[in-house]
A and B are shown apart, each in its own frame.
Chain A
Amino acid sequence: SQMRSLKTFQRAFSTRDWAFKPTFTPEFTTHRYEKSMPAFRVMDQEGNILCKEFENIEKDQLIDFYKLMRKLNVTDTVFNISQRQNRVSFYMTSWGEEAEVIGSTAAIKFEDMVYPQYREQGGLMFRGFSIQDMAHQLFGNKNESGKGRQMPVHYGDKDKNWMTVSSPLGTQVPQAAGAGYHYRIRGEDKICMVYFGDGSASEGDSLTALNFAATLKCQTLFFCRNNLYAISTPADDQFAGDGIAPRGPAFNIPTIRVDGNDLFAVYNATKIARDIIVKEKGPVLIESLSYRVGDHSTSDFSKMYRDEEEMKKWENYLPIISDPILRLHKYIEKNNLIQDLEKVEKEWDDEVRKEVMKALTVAEKEKKAKISDLFLGVYHDKPLHLQEQEKELFDHLEKYGSEYGLKDYEAEQFA
């Protein structure tokens, strides 16, 4: 039966119709990349529409998006300050990327799985994650769905089809390819969207994920947030090529490059990308160009590697002074979509500030999970050696519990 299957395969190979069909020429060429792929933009930095056909977001929905972008920005600001005040141990802002993240998550379906990197809390908020939910996670208290296992901003919410953030960079990218493959062979019209940054795009995991997704035909939307910085490493130290977009066609993946600070562009590009994926049953790559306005995290002080001068250099391309919120503000003002715009904005912002302050106070008071939670979920069940180690810790805490600040944790009997 081994020989029979060998013959079957040999026959299959000899009649194989190769997709890879090289051609030959006596004309010698060293191929060099000539021109940067331009990024698609609908609305310029002054809020003017450059192509009317993509000015297609309903007024009410646009106002909702704008409100959420401001909410995200203010939330980030207050949480960031709370870390400086030593209330929260760590935070990562997404200033400058509000349009990019909200615009893309809004353009896909709620059932679509999202694999974040770590700077996409705007998308999670779009799906209904509340400021209180965020605060619980930042304090790692017992109400947090991750049960305080990981550092702040490592959100995850299965009910919202939002994968839990993990610190290793780029690991989520091939995982999203696998998820997209499963959706395709199960015949589902679902996609898996994965966010990754310009730095993560250099990881072997990310590059191989593109190859896997194209070769195996996965319903995966690769969304690269190129915000020009990976901690202190500027894009020039990250790649010599024309960013991440050229990698798509190299693997035969339909690719879109988009102005990440333009809500209309990001929203439309993502919608179109999703349609391509569902129709062609293969991946799409979107590279979104933006700028990381804030520090990498609260453990970073970006003035050490960039100054006002440096940030000004990008003004003509991706003006961070005129960030995505300001651009949309100008559009809304020009088109009179909201009366008394500045007054309304101030009201929104004040309300959000109050909500975040309240959420912090509530979350701060909540207890952390029970100590026994330390040993739960390593495996599906708790194996013997973990049961014994738990007992060891409990015996220890019976004697030394007072040295450990147990009052911050949900009460539990150790005997």
Chain B
Amino acid sequence: PSSFVMLRTVCRGGKQAIGTVISPVVHAGRQVLRQYAAAAAATPSTASPQGERKKMNLFTAINDALRIALETDANACVFGEDVGFGGVFRCTVGLQEQFGDQRVFNTPLCEQGIAGFAVGMAAVGATAIAEIQFADYIFPAFDQIVNEAAKYRYRSGNQYDCGGLTIRSPCGAVGHGGHYHSQSPEAYFAHTPGLKIVMPRTPVQAKGLLLASIRDPNPVLFMEPKALYRAAVEDVPVGDYTLPLGVGQIVQEGSDVTLVGWGAQVNVLMNASEMAAELGISCEVIDLCTILPWDRDLVANSVRKTGRLVISHEAPKTSGFAAEVAATIQNCCFLSLEAPIQRVCGYDTPFPLIFEKYYVPNAYKNLEAIKSVMEA
């Protein structure tokens, strides 16, 4: 996307490249990315696989996972638009040089084609790792994902399956993405039995969860929060490791209220919890990590302890995934609840450009929700 490349060029060039005039969109975007970087630094992974470690950011960790997948599985291929030269987010840098252009390759520009092609490869035994350049563009592939990949095993009576299919796609707000470079479409897919949906937050998670997703015998949608590609940095084990799917993480323990999120939003919840701590409120912050199937018992046990729940996501409020979490938790933890469950989400509008700052469920809005459940 031209606007995003422009931002990176501007950032690299520094002030000299653009003089003293910066567009409000670019300025806002840089602010948001700086906030993400600061927040990401404050919330390292709680998972701790062993071995020698190296500093990686999110896209480098993903790159490393893809490399290991290609090294360890002769049937694996990585493909999508612009994957050959390294990808628009650099997730596939160096892979084509190392593994050749038959296993790492560009496809024509067609998401329904990418998804259908990937389904067919997986169906005959390949490990197909497809990329959809932005989650905003995944909708032409919706039919292949929902009607085909998700139902392959069930409808064939377990004769065929798409276990070897993984679809990776960048998602989420990035400061200047507007309608079509900011979406979080997890809720549409969470409504589809047969799929798994995974969203990492940290580089350690990203590498382990991606390897687990690739190796999981089910079709997996791996959603990568693009704002964290550069902003999230930590020491990641250089070896081959996986993290379990369907298992959430308690990022921070607390006693007064449970905060649930996924992806970049967890960092926002951590910021909110810091502000809440100044008011004497102790927050337990949970990263779902896997959205489908989600770790209900982890959240339920936490809510039975705290009695209060706030769920937050960038995606629009109505029928967002928080609705699923809220409905399930009120059902199993009703008598433990001290206050109604709060959802702090994007508004029910398309993702706006100049209003992004007002639109997103930021730390202040979450702080207000925390205060309201405490006061109830």
A residues within 8 Å of B by Cβ? 1-2, 5, 8-9, 113, 115, 144-147, 149-150, 154, 156-158, 163-164, 166, 168, 171, 173-183, 185-186, 192, 204-205, 208-209, 211-212, 215-216, 376-380, 383-385
The answer to the question of B93 belonging to the interface, with a C-beta cut-off of 8 Å to chain A, is: yes
A-B residue pairs in contact (CB < 8 Å), sample of 14: A5-B94, A145-B159, A156-B157, A158-B159, A164-B156, A178-B116, A178-B126, A180-B120, A181-B117, A183-B124, A208-B108, A212-B107, A212-B110, A216-B107
**Per-residue interface assignment for chain B, residues 278 to 306, with 1 indicating a CB less than 8 Å from any chain A CB and 0 otherwise:** 00000000000000010011000000000
- Indicate if the CB atoms of B124 and A204 lie closer than 8 Å: no
Chain B 115-167 interface residues, beta-carbon cutoff 8 Å to A: 115-126, 128, 140, 143-144, 147-148, 151-161, 163
**Segment at the A interface, from B15-23, B30-38, B97-105, B365-373:** B97-105
What separation, in Å, do the CA atoms of A301 and B124 have in the docked complex? Answer: 38
Specify which chain A residues have a CB less than 8 angstroms from the CB of B49 in the assembled complex: none
Which of B77, B143, B155 has its CB near the most chain A CB atoms (within 10 A)?
A: B155
B194 at the interface (CB under 8 A from A): yes
Q: Which 4 A-B pairs have the closest CB atoms?
A: A178-B120, A174-B116, A175-B120, A208-B113
Is the Cβ of B218 less than 8 Å from the Cβ of A157?
no
Beta-carbon contacts of B31-73 to A below 8 Å, as 1s and 0s?
0000000000000000000000000000000000000000000
Q: Are A211 and B119 in touch, CB under 8 angstroms?
A: no
Cβ of B108 and Cβ of A212 under 8 Å apart? Answer: yes
A173 to B113, CA, bound (A): 9
Contact of A9 among B77, B85, B159, B163 (CB under 8 A): B85
Q: A175-B123, A205-B144 are in contact. Are A378 and B154 (CB under 8 A)?
A: yes
- Given known pairs A166-B147, A208-B112, the reply for A380 and B153 (CB within 8 Å) is yes
B-side interface residues, number (CB < 8 Å) = 56
Nearest-CB residue, chain A, relative to B216? A380
Q: Are B148 and A377 in contact (CB under 8 A)?
A: no
Known pairs A204-B140, A377-B154; A156 contacts B159 (CB<8 A): yes
Of A146, A175, A176, A180, which is within 8 A of B148 by CB?
Answer: A175
**B217 contacts partner chain A, Cβ-Cβ < 8 Å:** yes
Most buried by A among B108, B159, B218: B159
- B115 (CB) vs chain A CBs: closest residue: A174
- Does A168 contact B143, Cβ atoms closer than 8 Å? yes
B157 lies within 8 A of A2 (CB): no
* A113-B159 contact, Cβ under 8 Å, with A174-B117, A377-B154: no
Asked whether, in the complex, the Cβ of B218 is within 8 Å of the Cβ of A178, the reply is no
Complex contact B155–A146 (CB within 8 A): yes
Q: Which residues of chain B are within 8 angstroms of A211 by Cβ–Cβ distance?
A: 108, 110, 113
B147 and A385 contact, CB distance less than 8 A: no
In contact, A2 and B158 (Cβ under 8 angstroms): no
Given A211-B110, A383-B246; A376-B158 close (CB under 8 Å): yes
Report whether A185 and B97 are in contact in the complex, using a CB–CB cutoff of 8 Å.
no
CA distance A299 to B121 in the complex (A): 34
Q: Which residues of A contact B94 (CB under 8 A)?
A: 1, 5
How many angstroms between the C-alpha atoms of A238 and B51 in the bound complex? 61
